[in-house]
Amino acid sequence: MTRISRLFERLKQEGRPGLIAYLTAGDPAPHRTASLIAALERGGADLIELGVPFSDPVADGPRYPTRLGCASLKAGTTVSGVLKIAEEIRKQSEIPLLLFNLHEPVDTAMAWTSWPRMPPPAA
């Protein structure tokens, strides 16, 4: 059973909703993310959605504000850097983490040749 499934089971048993907090990894600086997560946890967050910054989230259109990742990107945050941040968080906390990401940064930065590909749309 994963941390996330254990969390939802516990919330169900307690009869309460969970608080999911979102934070862009590396914003305002990569070295501050773990302490910000700790503060969110102390403030009552049950799960952290850790955003992976990306400069061109065109797939989501105008709903995804591009400025969310700007400070993080300017600070040098990368996909592998976000995974390192997650490792640091895990050393200090057992809070469930969920990475929020788009396909492009993982495919490009991690060069996952086995990443599932969608067939082109039928004409």
**Which residue is catalytic, options 14, 27, 46, 49?**
49
| Residue 44: strand, helix, or coil | coil
Whether 27 is catalytic is no
**For the sheet containing 97-100, what is the strand order?**
20-24, 47-51, 97-100
**Which residue is catalytic, options 56, 60, 87, 94?**
60
Whether 60 is catalytic is yes
Q: Report the distance separating Cα 68 and Cα 55, nearest Å.
A: 9
Contact 50, 99 (CB under 8 A): yes
CA 54 to chain centre: 12
Long-range contacts of 40-43 (CB under 8 A, 24+ apart): 41/93, 41/95
Catalytic residue list: 49, 60
